[in-house]
Chain A
């Protein structure tokens, strides 16, 4: 039940895009067609599910104050939390590179579909933002952290596919010149964000 709640919270209530604007750059860049949006959305889910548990382990066994006590008693007062950013981004960048290579070997078809998007994900704020929020929420088990990653990824996926569908549709609409393109995308995202506010306080 706890896990279901975490999932719903991260996917809908605290949606990456509508509540925190994470990954807006790639969100606006790939949402011109549903097909590319689908590809990047899948890649984000994948990378979040892989990197958040890894970052959770690093946070709890290396970075936190006293996290290094498993090495020996003399390390129990070491606090490496100032290294958080650089460790997280290193994990993310290398995981993305690794995932890219594995996917290329195992499933060339999937690689063809995700290919160009995978390297972009290293600099997607949604991934680093997810890791930093994971750290802030202080989950107790690695299961919770993984579900949080999955939920955030699914939330991002839903948002990007939805806006891509809407943008494909409004291409045939007569929009005032200055709002065409980016301006309209911002307005639509704002309205969708208002709609997603309806999930506020939603729990099972």
Chain B
């Protein structure tokens, strides 16, 4: 009788250890950063690149994919060696891993997407010091197994990419009347489409400060929908 109980107990333990790949907890790792714990609007990380590359949607999408690639590989590799890294020099170890990955991204962009790489200029290099990457490495990868770390990376880079794409959508549409380079409102120089009726592009949308204001509005709407996120100074 007691042996059976032990067997059942053992079975339970085994079941407990084998968490399904997409358990509730793991799904939360992906869905949380998209809204309640968004890296840009709530954690306030990785703002520099998020604001600077949003003039065109193409650049924003390329940047998000680059961050997705770097963050997943960095999170997994740091998580794999997390028990080997001495605590005192962990920042330098992380920087070297991330810098190596960013060099790969930079060389690939230069080889296959040269125009986008020219436009992103120094911001590809700045992925190294992108606070999202360092923040996730410090906060998550150093204390978790590779699989949750990978999910966390996917969630956070998607949350990052989402804000980038939304901001760049408004900036490109109202700043130059285009989306991904396609003319939506007609051609401004030849006065076709909406421009023939006297519509004008909003030059402010192309200037750097407008992305700050757009992100502020995004935060406003997000917190309006979810009052539990409101800060109390």
Given contacts A186-B215, A197-B207, contact A25 B91 (CB under 8 A): no
A residues near B107, Cβ cutoff 8 Å: 82
Interface string of A125-141 (1 = CB under 8 A from B): 10111001100100000
Interface centre among A24, A133, A176 (most CB of B within 10 A): A24
Interface stretch of the complex, out of B3-11, B98-106, B188-196: B98-106
User: Contacts A25-B47, A129-B126 given: A179-B52 contact, CB under 8 Å?
Assistant: no
**A25 close to B131 (CB less than 8 A):** yes
Q: How far is the CB of B163 from chain A (nearest CB, A)?
A: 12
Residues in A with CB closer than 8 Å to B121 are 136
Q: Is the interface of A mostly helix, strand, loop or mixed?
A: helix
B184 within 8 A of A: no
Task: Tell me whether B210 and A190 are in contact (CB under 8 A).
Answer: yes
User: What residues of chain A lie closer than 8 Å to B113, measured between beta carbons?
Assistant: none
- Contact present for A186 and B131 (CB under 8 Å): no
Q: Which residues of A contact B99 (CB under 8 A)?
A: 85-86, 89-90
The digit string for A106-125, where 1 denotes a CB below 8 A from any CB of B, is 00000000000001001111
Determine if A72 is an interface residue (Cβ-Cβ < 8 Å).
Answer: no
Contact indicator B130/A178 (Cβ below 8 Å): no
Instruction: Please tell me if the beta carbons of B212 and A84 are within 8 angstroms of each other in the complex.
Output: no
Contacts of A128 in B (CB 8 A): 125-126, 128-129
Asked whether A180 lies within 8 Å of B96 as measured between CB atoms, the reply is no
In the bound complex, CA of A86 to CA of B100 (Å): 7
Q: How far is the CA of A129 from the CA of B126 in the complex (A)?
A: 7
What are the residues of chain B within 8 A of A183 when measuring CB–CB? 216, 219-220, 223
Q: Which residues of B contact A190 (CB under 8 A)?
A: 209-210, 212-213, 216
Q: Is B224 an interface residue (CB 8 A)?
A: yes
Say yes or no: is A39 at the interface (Cβ < 8 Å to chain B): no
B15 at the interface (CB under 8 A from A): no
Q: How many residues of B contact A (CB 8 A)?
A: 48
User: In B8-42, which residues have CB < 8 Å from any A CB?
Assistant: 41
Q: Which of B41, B131, B233 contacts A180 (CB 8 A)?
A: B233
Count of residues in A whose CB is under 8 Å from the partner chain: 49
B95 and A28 form a contact (CB under 8 A): no
Chain B hits for A28, CB < 8 A: 44, 47
Question: In the bound complex, what is the Cα–Cα distance between A165 and B15 (angstroms)?
Answer: 56
Q: In the assembly, what is the distance between CA of A82 and CA of B100, in Å?
A: 10
With A82-B103, A177-B227, A187-B216: A132-B125 Cβ-Cβ less than 8 Å: yes
Question: Max chain A CB contacts within 10 Å: which of B207, B211, B231?
Answer: B231
Contact between B213 and A186 (Cβ–Cβ < 8 Å)? yes
The verdict on A177 contacting B44 (CB below 8 Å), with A136-B122, A171-B233, A186-B213 known, is no
- Residues of A52-100 at the interface with B, using a CB-CB cut-off of 8 Å, are 82-86, 88-90, 93-94
Question: Do A124 and B129 touch across chains, with their CB atoms under 8 A apart?
Answer: yes
Minimal Cβ-Cβ distance residue in B for A197 = B207
Residues of B within 8 A of A24 (CB): 47-48, 51
Q: Which of A182-204 contact B (CB under 8 A)?
A: 182-184, 186-187, 189-191, 193-194, 197
From A82, A125, A177, contact of B130 by CB (8 A): A125
- Are A25 and B52 in touch, CB under 8 angstroms? no
Q: Nearest Cβ in chain A — how far from B112, in angstroms?
A: 16
Give me 9 other A-B pairs in contact (C-beta within 8 A), A183-B216, A193-B207, A193-B208 excluded.
Answer: A25-B44, A82-B107, A85-B102, A85-B125, A122-B95, A128-B126, A129-B126, A179-B220, A183-B220
List, sorted by A's number, 17 A–B pairs whose CB atoms are closer than 8 Å.
A18-B209, A21-B211, A22-B48, A25-B48, A82-B107, A90-B95, A93-B95, A123-B131, A124-B129, A125-B131, A129-B126, A132-B122, A177-B230, A180-B233, A181-B233, A182-B41, A194-B207
Binding site for A on B (CB under 8 A): 41, 44-49, 51-52, 91-92, 95-96, 99-100, 102-103, 106-107, 121-122, 125-126, 128-131, 134, 207-213, 215-216, 219-224, 227, 230-233
